[in-house]
Amino acid sequence: MDEKQRQEIRDLITEHTRLWVAHDMDAWGAYFTEDADFITHRGLWWRTRGENVDGHKDVPASVIAQKAAYTQEVVSIQPLAPDTALVHTVWTWPGHRLPGGRPPEDRGGLITLVLVRRGGSWLIRAAHNTRANGTDDFAPQG
* The predicted structure's pLDDT at residue 56: 93
Domain that holds residue 49: 3-131
Q: Is residue 76 part of a domain?
A: yes
**The whole model's pTM is what?**
0.90
Q: Is residue 136 part of a domain?
A: no
| Domain count within the chain | 1
User: Beta-strand (E) ranges in 97-138?
Assistant: 105-118, 121-131
CATH of the domain at 110: 3.10.450.50
Whether 130 shows a pLDDT value over 80: the answer reads yes
Q: Is residue 56 part of a domain?
A: yes
* The predicted structure's pLDDT at residue 142: 47
Whether 88 shows a pLDDT value over 50: the answer reads yes
Query: Helix, strand, or coil here: 2?
Result: coil
Rounded-to-integer distance, Cα 126 and Cα 68, Å: 25
Report CA-CA distances (Å) from 137 to 59, 93, 116, 132: 13, 14, 32, 13
Rounded-to-integer distance, Cα 5 and Cα 131, Å: 28
Whether 104 shows a pLDDT value over 70: the answer reads yes
Helices (H), the chain: 3-22, 25-29, 49-57, 61-64
In sequence order, what are the beta bridge partners of 7?
none
Q: Is residue 39 part of a domain?
A: yes
